[in-house]
A and B are shown apart, each in its own frame.
Chain A
Amino acid sequence: MAFTRNERRLLTASAVLALCFCLAAPAGAMHIMEGYLPVGHCVFWGAVCLPFLAWGLISIKRIVAQHRKAVLLLAMMGAYAFVLSALKIPSAFGMSSSHPTGTGLGAVMFGAPVMAVLGIIVLLFQAVLLAHGGLTTLGANTFSMAIAGPFLSWGLYALLKKCRVNQTVSVGLACALGDLFTYVITSLQLGFSHPSAVGGVGASIAEFMGIFAVTQIPLAAIEGILSAVVFMLLQSFAKPELREIGMLQEVR
């Protein structure tokens, strides 16, 4: 998409700021817990998020200005992430609990950048009021749940669309794998910051994958199915809005 001059300035500024932070601090979960990432890593992940947040703000402004009709849907997508990330569900793998992210559906419909902003709102709420996740780890958690996951969902959906896979199935698959990818990233983030004395970074990553990613598999399936259900409901009740954002395919 083409950016206006002010938008380009905002993006450049955020990217430059991000670069400064990254250079200044060369870095040596469910959400990652407060205080469990070294300072350098916290700053690094926070910096990486900045350009995406700026991009997200621009996209939201665009949607509000150009697709007024679809704003209700956008609010519903934010609310969907809010609900899903509050649900701690027991998992058959690992015998522990975790929660879905709920950020995939919004990413598929409105593009991934939007979810960076909506996702950080959810994470702030949880970090400040619920002592879940954390303010120091906000950057890392935002990157995994509000950026990496949504971007995977967005990309995968585009790919499936090109392959002419059924739209509802594509939405479900994209959301499920985006959810899983979030926790793969969380495991990588923890693995890099806490390398094991014996096996190094690799062993640590494997350890955290076992905790986060494996637990998440059934939950990812739930998120995929739920997202597909919500999308089916929208297909029957929100046709004008879906047409507005270009999500309405074959009308049977």
Chain B
Amino acid sequence: MNKKTVITILVLLLICVGIAVYPLMINEDSDFGGADGAAEEAILEIDPDYEPWASSPIELPGGETESLLFCLQAAIGAIIIGFGFGYLVARKRYNRQAAE
């Protein structure tokens, strides 16, 4: 990987962070609820008599447990991606050494 690629990647990642942080700065009193919650409200507005006919098989006790599980999901994924890149990067390095 040459220097130009590294810089491009860093700049791109910074842009991502910017896109995610910008809304937090321009609007401090919004709590950024989920879009699915907003859709629930919209459905009840369009169709006030609609009764959700099923509910989730489990009721999470609260936001803390939910964030635990979301973290777990991200962590499992990150482990696999990290393992993959670790393997690929090391292979490239040792192949080069072996060639020398």
Contacts and interface: CB of A to CB of B under 8 A. Distances in A.
Interface of A: 29-36, 38-39, 72-73, 75-76, 78-92, 94-98, 125-132, 134-136, 190, 194-197, 204, 207-208, 211-212, 215-216, 218, 221-222, 225-226, 228-229, 232-234, 236-238, 241
A106 B11 CA distance: 23
Given A86-B71, A131-B56, A134-B54, 16 more contacts: A29-B39, A36-B50, A73-B84, A85-B73, A90-B24, A95-B32, A130-B60, A130-B66, A131-B66, A136-B54, A190-B39, A194-B46, A197-B46, A208-B39, A236-B92, A237-B85
B66 A95 contact: no
A28 to B, nearest CB: 13
B26 interface: yes
13 contacts: A35-B53, A36-B39, A39-B53, A82-B73, A84-B77, A91-B32, A95-B32, A96-B35, A130-B70, A194-B46, A196-B46, A212-B39, A226-B13
A211 B39 contact: yes
B33 A96 contact: yes
A204 B44 CA distance: 12
Contacts, number: 184
Interface residues of B, number: 58
A131 B73 CA distance: 13
Contacts of A194: 43, 46-47, 50
Given A36-B52, A83-B74, A129 B69 contact: yes
Interface in B7-24: 8-9, 12-13, 15-16, 19-20, 22-24
Contact of A211 (B9, B38, B53): B38
B88 interface: yes
Contacts of A76: 80-81, 84-85
Contacts of B55: 34-35
A222 B36 contact: no
Contacts of A211: 35, 38-39, 42
B23 A98 contact: no
A32 to B, nearest CB: 8
A134 B87 contact: no
Contacts of B91: 237
B88 to A, nearest CB: 4
A225 B15 contact: yes
Nearest to A172: B12
B35 A34 contact: no
A182 to B, nearest CB: 12
A97 B33 contact: yes
Nearest to A73: B84
A93 B48 CA distance: 26
A31 B36 contact: yes
Contacts of A221: 19
Given A92-B23, A95-B23, A225-B16, A34 B52 contact: yes
B19 to A, nearest CB: 5
A27 to B, nearest CB: 15
B54 to A, nearest CB: 4
Contacts of B70: 86, 88, 130
Contact of A80 (B1, B12, B81, B89): B81
